[in-house]
């Protein structure tokens, strides 16, 4: 039995970490609207508003030594002992440690020498701030005289320039300090000129001191585990002038035996309209002391009304508890939309808590900010966000609706797409541009899922611009039509879709031909002119999503025959030119040579085309999907899941691009790219193979992880990649949290295994389960109705003979269905 670092607490919907030295920082996300925080099990991480690149509030040092440097730290000085509730950064051994990651909150508790410190972190609904409720309790029999220091390090807003433009940003930092019944440190760098936003860090009491200059607080040659102010036993009341502004409060307190005291810290962000940016010098309360970096020459005192409102609102424990209860009530409500009861505790846990939670996080973050995504590289991905919203749409459909409009607004008039856009501006990202020929199809995927969930056809009439250009608006339905045609208008010599820069596999760069180590595979110019590079993955995607589009048209009584004819043609092209004998080919390269064929020495078979063509059941009469599944099981599968391709490439292939740059067994080169395992699982359910589907589902689902040391990353969420069978350490996970795996496995388990499928006709019950699953009950709130469906499987079947359709009707309905 390998070592464990924590366990699930299902009743509280928490993962409980009991050893701070996890094999990698195990993190959580605070906030699910505009204000976010990433928080590790030792308090590391940072905050941002809407956009992890352009509105970074606190600083983080990625890939640092030691790992996970900088966060929200509290230092407690008790006699000669200095310690932190979350163990880091002092790493003083604790008598007790526990971190509970819950749904958008984290509670870290440490105990040392009879003092317990418990910190609850969360972002209240509708508030642009992280609340930190710190409770200090004296559990000893003696009076305790303690000193408390807080620590947060400001980021100068743009996380990219903050990490590189030191000649400027080491001179610009400015703060204000407000001392009264509460103490707030304001970060106002660049506020006097173009910025209309500021950040603040407050505590709900007067303090004995403060620091706002990092060097003064920490000491230039000290680490965060030995800040010189803490070692000296008092702060230095420093005022930041450039360099690195921070916020630290210093509080002295006494606790009688058994006594507890709460401190409420608020780390927030506020925006002011241009004409209300500055204070008119009528100070709003007495006992007020204001200090600013510029002192008396400062003509630009922040108008703090918006921050003060939040600080006042959360002045009491009661207010914090009420806001925390509201957050928990929201999660009660969100999770009540789909709930399963079965004898399988681990499945219940994935379905009822963690998979749904991760879908919210990927919906909010896309691929922008995690401990593997720096927040500066990527904004919202076109394909990523469409997939994410399919996992989330049942939770808050109105937000999915807005997302669809935002995404579609970045499209080009020919249906092509910006590959990414920035959440702050909602504009397409020119650095990466477009040309990924799978992108348009994902809009069909996202939009049709939204309408099946909500029945809201009105979204199709929304007028949506091209490339955010006012005056270019056409209906969303027209965007869908043009998206469909983007594939039809870009077919290659075999009548299969041209791949463009890449398809879903960003690293299969068939037109890139890069021999310059200084250029990026993702952004460099492509040789598309004269290219014969075609993608079987897009072919399957087109057939699958194209049919979803046709179903929508039919539900709207619109003609769909021309689209159906194109889909039919595509199926024929795949049967004729996309079949390798035992499995679907992956692609044709620039010259028209096969990729993913038994004729190739490496990369003989790929997962994406088996998944997509299998889901779309192309060549079903010829037995193709079943054969492809058998081949995938034989050649791609392993103990930890199916690898992306096999054998992995061991040399660089200029005609394949980035995929062949990864060491064998990692990422897109033979890694278990969790995202595409669910495609195969769905293809299995489409083939009626419930036992196989269940086996593969369990291989990659976090609740079944046995070896936490090997898996390394969080055992409660999916990660993008697990090292494949050809890697040095098969089974080692990387890139946790932000992956389409969350949405896809949600589809797998909720719709394809448990089989509750929203359709235009009604709720279709079409399970494909392991034969030993004898019974389960799903409660599904769908539109204004609630269905309680009990499935009985007395005869050990895997699928029903025919699916049952439950008509849509508002109200509560109970059904028992026997397989
Ligand atoms: C990453 C990207 C996604 C891409 C996948 C495969 O997860 O976010 O867009 O499809 O990698 O390359
Ligand atoms: C995907 C891939 C990664 C690649 C990136 C480029 O995330 O997994 O390897 O660098 O796409 O956008």
Cα of 639 vs centre of ligand 1, distance in Å, is: 23
Q: Is pLDDT at 432 greater than 90 in this prediction?
A: no
Q: Does the structure show a pLDDT above 70 at 31?
A: yes
pLDDT at position 281 is 60
- How do residues 225-283 score in pLDDT, each as one tens digit? 999 999 999 999 999 999 999 999 999 999 999 999 999 999 999 999 999 999 876 44
Q: How confident is the model at residue 377 (pLDDT cuts 50, 70, 90)?
A: confident
668 lines ligand 1 (CB under 6 A): yes
Beta bridge partners of 697: none
Q: What is the mean pLDDT of residues 654-674?
A: 98
**Ligand 2 centroid vs 741 CA: distance in angstroms?**
14
Instruction: Say if residue 465's pLDDT is above 60.
Output: yes
Residue 273 three-state SS: coil
Name the closest-CA residue to atom 5, ligand 2: 506
When pLDDT is cut at 50, 70 and 90, the band that residue 286 belongs to is very low
Dihedral-angle region of residue 770 (phi above 0 means left; psi in -120 to 50 means alpha; beta otherwise) = beta
pLDDT digits (tens, 9 = 90+) for 497-510: 999 999 999 999 99
Band (2; pLDDT cuts 50, 70, 90): confident
Assign 288 a pLDDT band (cuts: 50, 70, 90): low
| pLDDT band per the 50, 70, 90 thresholds, residue 111 | very high
Helix axis angle for 476-488 and 536-555, nearest 10°, is 150
Neighbours of 667 (CB within 10 A): 22
Q: Residue 452 is inside which H or E element, if any?
A: helix 439-454
| Low-confidence winner among 81-90, 290-299, 541-550, 803-812 (lowest mean pLDDT) | 290-299
Question: How many percent of the chain have pLDDT more than 70?
Answer: 99
Asked if residue 222 has pLDDT above 80, the reply is: yes
Is any atom of ligand 1 closer than 6 Å to the C-beta of 505?
yes
- How many residues are listed for the chain in this entry? 819
Of 86-90, 240-244, 431-435, 611-615, least confident by mean pLDDT is: 431-435
Structure tokens at 123: 């972002």
Predicted pLDDT at 422: 87
The set of catalytic residues is: 506
Quick one: how far is CA 395 from the chain centroid?
15
Ligand 1 pocket member 608 (CB < 6 A): no
What pLDDT, on the 0 to 100 scale, is given for residue 283? 47
Q: Are 393 and 422 within 8 A, CB to CB?
A: no
Helices (H) then strands (E): counts for the chain? 20, 39
Ligand 1 atom 9: residue of nearest CA: 384
Task: Work out the angle at residue 213's Cα, subtended by the Cα atoms of residues 209 and 216, and round it to the nearest 5 degrees.
Answer: 80
Which range, of 177-181, 351-355, 597-601, averages the lowest pLDDT?
177-181
Ligand nearest to the CA of 384: 1
CA distances from 383 to 506, 541, 695 (A): 11, 12, 28
pLDDT of residue 431: 83
Which neighbouring-strand residues pair with 251? 148
Question: β-strands 144-157, 56-58: how paired?
Answer: antiparallel
Is pLDDT of 523 > 90?
no
Which H or E run contains 765? strand 762-765
Report how far residue 52's alpha carbon sits from residue 688's, in angstroms, rounded to the nearest whole number.
43
Q: Which numbered atom of ligand 1 lies nearest the CA of 504?
A: 10
- The pLDDT tens digits for 687-705 are 999 999 999 999 999 999 9
Average of pLDDT values for 592-611? 98
Pocket lined around ligand 2, Cβ cut-off 6 Å: 506-507, 522, 667-668
Q: What is the pLDDT of residues 555-565, one digit of tens each?
A: 999 999 999 99
Alpha-carbon distance of 684 to 502, in angstroms, equals: 26
Lowest model confidence (mean pLDDT) among 272-286, 476-490, 749-763, 784-798: 272-286
Please report the atom of ligand 2 found closest to the CA of residue 721.
8
Specify whether the CB–CB gap between 105 and 116 falls below 8 A: no
- Which residue lies with its CA nearest to atom 7 of ligand 2? 506
Q: Mean pLDDT of all residues in the chain?
A: 96
Q: 675 CA distance to ligand 1 centroid (A)? A: 8
Distance CA 125, CA 248 (A): 26
Q: Taking the chain, what is the end-to-end CA distance rounded to the nearest angstrom?
A: 38
Q: Residue 525 pLDDT > 90, yes or no?
A: no
Q: Is the pLDDT of residue 305 over 80?
A: yes
In the prediction, which pLDDT does 522 show?
86
Q: Which residues pair with 184 in a beta bridge?
A: 178, 202
């Amino acid at each position: 039995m390998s070592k464990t670092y924590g366990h699930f607490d299902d009743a509280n919907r928490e993962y409980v970490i009991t050893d701070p030295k996890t094999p990698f920082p195990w993190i959580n996300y605070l906030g699910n609207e505009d204000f976010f925080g990433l928080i590790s099990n030792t308090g590391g991480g940072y905050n941002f508003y809407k956009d992890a690149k352009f509105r970074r509030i606190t600083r983080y040092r990625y890939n640092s030594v030691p790992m996970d440097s900088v966060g929200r730290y509290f230092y407690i000085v008790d006699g000669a002992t200095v310690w932190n509730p979350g163990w880091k950064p002092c790493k003083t051994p604790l008598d007790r440690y526990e971190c509970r990651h819950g749904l958008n909150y984290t509670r870290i508790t440490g105990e040392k020498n009879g003092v317990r410190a418990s910190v609850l972190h969360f972002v209240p609904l509708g508030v642009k701030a992280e609340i930190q409720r710190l409770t200090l309790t004296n559990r000893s029999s003696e009076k305790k005289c303690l000193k408390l220091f807080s620590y947060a390090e400001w980021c100068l807003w743009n996380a990219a320039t903050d990490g590189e433009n030191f000649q400027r940003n080491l001179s610009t930092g400015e703060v204000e300090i407000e001392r009264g019944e509460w103490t707030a440190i304001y970060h106002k760098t660049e506020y006097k000129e173009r910025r209309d936003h500021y950040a603040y860090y407050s505590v709900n009491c007067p303090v004995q001191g403060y620091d706002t200059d990092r060097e003064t607080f920490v000491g230039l040659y000290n680490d965060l585990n030995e800040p010189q102010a803490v070692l000296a036993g008092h702060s230095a009341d420093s005022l930041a002038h450039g360099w690195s502004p921070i916020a630290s409060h210093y509080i002295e307190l006494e606790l009688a035996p058994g006594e507890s005291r709460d401190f409420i810290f608020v780390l927030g962000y506020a925006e002011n309209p241009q004409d209300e940016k500055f204070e008119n010098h009528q100070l709003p309360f007495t006992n007020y002391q204001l200090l600013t970096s510029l002192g008396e020459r400062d003509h630009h005192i922040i108008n703090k009304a918006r921050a003060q409102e939040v600080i006042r609102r959360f002045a009491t424990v009661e207010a914090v508890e009420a806001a925390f209860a509201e957050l928990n009530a929201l999660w009660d409500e969100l999770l009540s939309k789909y709930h399963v009861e079965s004898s399988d505790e681990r499945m219940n846990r994935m379905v009822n808590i963690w998979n749904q939670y991760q879908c919210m996080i990927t919906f909010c973050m896309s691929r922008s900010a995690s401990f593997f995504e720096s927040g500066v590289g990527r904004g919202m991905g076109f394909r990523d966000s469409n997939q994410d919203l399919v996992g989330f749409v049942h939770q808050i459909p109105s937000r999915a609706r807005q997302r669809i409009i935002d995404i579609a607004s970045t499209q080009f008039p020919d249906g092509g797409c910006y590959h990414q856009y920035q959440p702050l501006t909602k504009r397409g990202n020119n650095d990466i541009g477009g040309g990924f020929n799978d992108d348009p199809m994902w809009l069909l995927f996202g939009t049709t899922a939204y309408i099946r969930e909500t029945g809201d056809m009105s979204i199709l009439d929304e007028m949506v611009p091209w490339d955010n250009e006012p005056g270019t608006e056409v209906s969303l339905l027209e965007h869908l039509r043009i998206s469909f045609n983007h594939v039809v208008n870009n077919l290659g010599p075999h009548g299969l879709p041209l791949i463009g820069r890449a398809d879903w596999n960003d690293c299969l760069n068939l037109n890139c031909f890069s021999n310059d180590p200084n250029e990026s595979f993702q952004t460099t110019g492509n040789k598309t002119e004269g290219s014969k590079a075609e993608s079987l993955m897009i072919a399957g995607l087109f057939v699958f999503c194209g049919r979803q589009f046709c179903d929508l048209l039919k539900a709207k009584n619109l003609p769909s025959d021309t689209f159906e004819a194109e889909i039919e043609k595509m199926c024929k092209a795949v049967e004729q030119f996309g079949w390798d004998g035992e499995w679907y080919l992956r692609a044709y390269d620039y010259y028209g040579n096969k990729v993913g064929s038994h004729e190739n020495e490496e990369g003989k078979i790929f997962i994406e085309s088996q998944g997509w063509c299998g889901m779309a059941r192309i060549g079903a009469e010829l037995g193709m999907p079943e054969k492809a599944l058998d081949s995938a099981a034989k050649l791609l599968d392993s103990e930890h899941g199916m690898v992306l391709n096999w054998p992995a490439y061991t040399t660089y292939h200029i005609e394949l691009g980035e995929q062949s740059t990864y060491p064998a067994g990692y990422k897109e080169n033979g890694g278990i790219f969790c995202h595409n395992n669910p495609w195969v699982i769905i293809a299995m359910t489409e083939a009626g193979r419930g036992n196989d589907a269940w086996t593969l589902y369990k291989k990659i689902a976090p609740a079944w992880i046995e070896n936490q040391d090997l898996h390394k990353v969080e055992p409660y969420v999916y990660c993008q990649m697990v090292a494949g069978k050809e890697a040095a350490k098969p089974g080692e996970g990387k890139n946790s949290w932000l992956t389409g795996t969350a949405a896809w496995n949600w589809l797998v388990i909720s719709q394809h295994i448990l089989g509750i499928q929203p359709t235009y006709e009604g709720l279709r019950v079409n399970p494909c389960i392991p034969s030993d699953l004898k019974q389960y009950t799903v409660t599904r709130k769908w539109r204004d109705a609630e269905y309680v469906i009990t499935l009985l499987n007395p005869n050990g079947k895997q699928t029903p003979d025919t699916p049952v359709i439950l008509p849509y009707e508002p109200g509560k309905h109970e059904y028992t269905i026997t397989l």
